[in-house]
Structure formats: structure tokens, C-alpha cells
Amino acid sequence: MHRTPRAHAHPLSLIAILTAVVVAASGCASGTDAVASGANFDFVSPGGQTDILYDPPESRNRIGALAGPDLMTDGNDISLTDYADQIVVINLWGQWCAPCRSEADDLERAYEATKDLGVQFLGINVRDPQRDKAQDFVVDNNVSYPSIYDPSMRTLIALGGNYPTSVIPSTLVLDRQHRVAAVFLRALLTEDLQPVIERVAAER
């Protein structure tokens, strides 16, 4: 299916990103595994852009099945299918990541401002072999939405083979059919993210 992504951002080297993906994927398999499969979303970043909007809606593709253990609750799993007919904002983060700390308040404000529109935020905690440190990050930053605990980054298979999973933080906005409407390969401010969420939430 043809897509017409558009964006405005600083350039990134996709070669460097993809090289780092290989290194990261080979070097951090530890802890509880999460499960994901069946991706058909094919990430494209024209000109190495870091903000990509996939429009019109019919040009979008779905990510694969995404599920994994709840970071804060042993024995419970979280799945994208838990949020049927909701906008889902997926944020990849790690407690070791300084930009993740800087954007945490902004993401929380965007979540609080949009959750009544049928919006759910979902974090994916990556490359944190010590679960308690990741849990401390959530508590210390007053993050109220759930996160999947994925130290080995296996859930990210759902984002497709071309997604630059070494770029942390990064954020995806999924529409109500869980098609990818936007990708941000950088730390975000509330004013960056909230208008995009509101626009996608208004689509019917």
C-alpha cells in the first residue's frame, strides 16, 4: 500500500541507526522476554527525518501483535489488543536514558490532556536488566500509564524489521485501528505531541 509520509525535523543517518540496531539487538538479551509477531508496518524515514506523519489515514499500516509483561505488576501481561478502538501512544524508554527523563513530564501532561478522547499511552521499557530501577523511574517521574518490561527488546519485533529501535526515546502514535499515524525519533515536548494526538483522535 502506498504511503505519503511527511515531516519536519533534523536529519539522522539511517545507516548509523540501523548499524546500532544490530549491535543493540545482539547485546541486550536478558531478563523476562516479551512476545510480538506479525508486523506489517514498514518504517520509512524520508531523508532521515525524525518526525514522520503518515497521511492520509488509508495509507497507514498496522504494527504486529504487541504484548509483554507489565513492568509494575509481576504475573500480568499487557497487550495492544487491550486497547481496542483507542488511540495508542507507544513510547520506548529506559531509565538509563537522560532524554527519557527530560520528556517524562511532557508525556504525562499529554496523556492527562488527551485520555478522555479515548487515548491510551503505553511505555515499552528497554535495555533495563534491573527491573527495580525501571520501576523507580516510573514512581519518581509520576508516570501514570503502564509500561511493558522488555529488557531484551523482543516486543519491538511488532514494529517491523526497519524500525530503528536503537533510537531511545522514540514514540509512535497509533490510530484507532492501530495503524501507525506518526513516529517521533526524539525526545518530545507536550506541544509537539498533543496536537498530533488530538488530530488523530478526531479522525473517524
pLDDT digits (tens, 9 = 90+) for 67-99: 999 999 988 999 999 999 999 999 999 999 999
What is the model's pLDDT at position 75? 84
Confidence of residue 8 (pLDDT cuts 50, 70, 90): very low
Length, in residues, of the chain? 204
Q: Look at strands 119-126 and 147-150 and give their pairing.
A: parallel
pLDDT digits over 96-124, tens only?
999 999 999 999 999 999 999 999 999 99
Domains, the chain, in order of start with CATH, read 4-201 (3.40.30.10)
28 vs 192, more confident: 192
Per the listing, cell 509520576 goes with 142
Q: Is the pLDDT of residue 194 over 70?
A: yes
**Comparing 12-26, 43-57, 179-193, which segment has the lowest mean pLDDT?**
12-26
Q: Is the whole-model pTM more than 0.75?
A: yes
pLDDT of residue 129: 95
Enumerate the H helices of 34-145 as residue ranges.
98-114, 131-140
Give the integer Cα–Cα distance in Å for 24 and 41.
21
Average pLDDT over residues 42-49: 88
Over residues 146-181, the pLDDT tens digits come to 999 999 999 999 998 889 999 999 999 999 999 999
Instruction: Using pLDDT thresholds of 50, 70 and 90, give the confidence band for residue 45.
Output: confident
Per-residue pLDDT averaged across 42-50, rounded? 89
H-helix segments, the chain:
14-27, 98-114, 131-140, 190-201
